[in-house]
Amino acid sequence: MALPPGFTPLAEDPVLGPAIVAGLEKVEEELREAIANSDPFADATSRHLMEAGGKRVRPLLVLLASHLGPNPGNDQVRMAAVVVELTHLATLYHDDVMDSAPVRRGAPTAHEVWGNSVAVLTGDLIFARASSLVSLLGAEALGIQARTFERLVMGQLQETMGPADGEDPLAHYLSVIAGKTGSLIAASGQLGALFGGADPQTVKIMVDYGEKVGVAFQLADDVIDVAGLQDKSGKTPGTDLREGVPTLPVLLLRRNAAAGDAEAAAVLELVDSDLTSDEALAAAVAAVRGNRATAEAWEVARQWAADAVAALAPMPDSVIKSSLAAFAEAVVEREA
């Protein structure tokens, strides 16, 4: 296993770089052990998404944050890394059912293979495993996990219900992704710093940093949906457009059109049309990709990443601080 692109400060450090890589390899082993089930069918459904791969962003952040304390990469740190990734995997099973997504990580989604009921129950099973593990980490970790899961669910509920009358759709969407994505990445930084033995102020900084990184990560995903390439992301460009998911580029398009931007209004006509056919979807994707709203969306995502880096300012300079800054930038400057 290698570090993701963009982690130059860490990759060049002869001690910390190999330590993080070794930690990620151990977490991967423990993740496979944690998800295993004696029931063959449950084992197959539980392994489905994990074996399709993934960026392991959350475990990586747990390990990085643990190096802010005097006892990095210990057993509790690795267990916390497994917990956050299991929680993330569980939410993916549920999200794919709610979004009727046909593909995840380049593979058919669980509900496409086994049906909605099995997919939902598999998500529940994986979350139960995460809950069992986090209970071994003590009351504070259990509280963090419970509050994080509440925010995950509330974010999904807010997304399902949509903005209230008179509520700014963009502000509503940012609140949704702070709950659905920011909360778990914030918990990753918090748990890593906590079990690495960092001081309370550093743990608090990692919560703020992680939430901002999580929002930046999801906003970048929004743009990649219309600007990315299928062979790199494993997801057909425009999937969110076809499913009518209100993402940042489209929200900015609507705002610009409402302000009198004729070009944005013309693109919206394509976006709001029947996108069932691949030809119609490709035309809508090309139109959104070429509109200034997409460039504006990139800038919003980059600003959130910059705000995450700024949150690290109180920390003394170190390889870990530089690596956390690179982490924030890497979640945005990617193609998949």
DSSP letter at 240? H
Q: Are 22 and 148 in contact (CB under 8 A)?
A: no
Q: Are 24 and 50 in contact (CB under 8 A)?
A: no
pLDDT, residue 233, reads 46
pLDDT, residue 11, reads 74
pLDDT, residue 154, reads 95
pLDDT, residue 215, reads 97
| CATH architecture under which domain 199-336 falls | Orthogonal Bundle (1.10)
Q: Which helix (H) or strand (E) holds 103?
A: strand 103-104
By C-alpha distance, which of 230, 332, 334, 326 is closest to 12?
326
- Distance in angstroms (rounded) separating the CA atoms of residues 109 and 45: 10
pLDDT, residue 230, reads 47
pLDDT, residue 336, reads 59
What does the domain layout of the chain look like in residue ranges? 15-163, 199-336
Dihedral over alpha carbons 205, 85, 10, 77 (to 10 degrees): 70
- Distance in angstroms (rounded) separating the CA atoms of residues 136 and 143: 12
pLDDT, residue 97, reads 80
Q: Are 152 and 181 in contact (CB under 8 A)?
A: no
15-163 and 199-336 share one CATH topology? Answer: yes
Provide the CATH topology of domain 15-163: Farnesyl Diphosphate Synthase (1.10.600)
- Distance in angstroms (rounded) separating the CA atoms of residues 19 and 16: 5
Amino acid at 70: P
Q: What is the DSSP string of 120-186?
A: HHHHHHHHHHHHHHHHTT-HHHHHHHHHHHHHHHHHHHHHHH-PPTT--HHHHHHHHHIIIIIHHHH
Dihedral over alpha carbons 257, 258, 262, 265 (to 10 degrees): 50
Kindly list the averaged pLDDT for each block of 10 residues, start to end, along the chain of length 336. Answer: 66 85 94 93 89 86 97 97 96 82 76 86 94 97 97 93 93 96 97 98 98 96 77 64 89 96 95 93 93 95 97 95 93 76
Q: Which helix (H) or strand (E) holds 104?
A: strand 103-104
How many Cβ atoms sit within 10 Å of the Cβ of residue 4? 17
